[in-house]
Structure 1
Amino acid sequence: MTSEARALHATAPSDEGDLGDLTALAVQGDPGAIEVLLSQVRPMVVRYCRARLGRISGHYHIADDVAQEVCIAVLSALPRYRDMGRPFASFVFGIASHKIADALRSAVRSAVPTEDLPDGPDDRPGPEETVVRYSEAERARDLLTRLPEHQRELVLLRVVAGLSAEETGNVLGMTAGAVRVAQHRALARLRAMASEESGA
């Protein structure tokens, strides 16, 4: 790891400027910068993929595989990446959106049940806990699908992917203040829909 990459890693990118500096070094081929950049981007990509692909049989391994494909695609595209005034996160989430769409198409085409034999003891949650988790996740997904697309994407980026208001604004082309207002409205709408369901 180069001294520049070490210094950027030590400051743990907290704003788009730090990530931009790190991206510039990674594009130039600095192995340390590439390693640090991917370590910063990967957790966001995994959360985003899990949020978008969790409805495929509830298996996170599919989302994790797609997240890995996204990271590989980002790594291969790095030498060709050019800063066009948009944040690097927009570039990453653009790749993620395409890979997620591919995975959804593939899941629809190849939905064939198979029987797998377990390799060892089953330490997964019991049937009751699984049903409760699945039911809660289904309810949350159902509520999210009833939001308009822009609000749904904002909630996924802010709440699930864990992006800051500034990062989300950069991805969606909004100011941080507009993101906070839109998030407040989206969450209020979700609460209202949830309470309508509970009361009905």
Structure 2
Amino acid sequence: MSMHEIPWREGLLAERRGDAMAYEAFLRDFAASMRRIVAMRLRRLRLTADEAEDVVQEVLIAVHARRAEWDAGRPLVPWLNAIARYKTIDAVRRLRRQARGRVDLSEEEWSAIFVAEESGREHHAMDVESLIVVLPPGQQAAVRAVAIEGASHREAADRLGTTEGALRVTLHRSLKRLMAAVRQGDGQ
């Protein structure tokens, strides 16, 4: 039997009797235990421990949402472990999917992205303009209004004499076409 079985069991049973303080103490103790376990599992899987708190919160939410489903005639810790295991597995899958497309940059690299010389800005503006000119006039106007000038969808729709929905469809088609043009230019 786990050393946590009796105190955690008492905390959850006290919650059923309306003792919010005991339930809060259970959640605090359980969360501390989960933080250590989840951080260790994520490190072992070569994922960062930064995401551990998100996983712990998902576990706590699941336990809270399902607390009425626990059968008081059965041990509590295996029930908690099952919830924690499944939530951790889900989170690891999600984190691995996200990590595939993530690029980790240093602070200096991030700041260099946003600092451009004036000639660099003009060059990028020419690049964007050379892409946009391949679009039909209506799509050009939508892309310029929203993506370049920063107008909201509503403002751009009003300015172009269309509805927000139609503008969104136009933007979607424009961006899809621009992405295809960029891919062709890269030889992909």
**TM-score, with length taken from structure 1:** 0.46
Which is greater in Rg?
2
Return the structure number with greater helix share. 2
- Relative contact order, higher structure (CA 8 A, sep 6+): 1
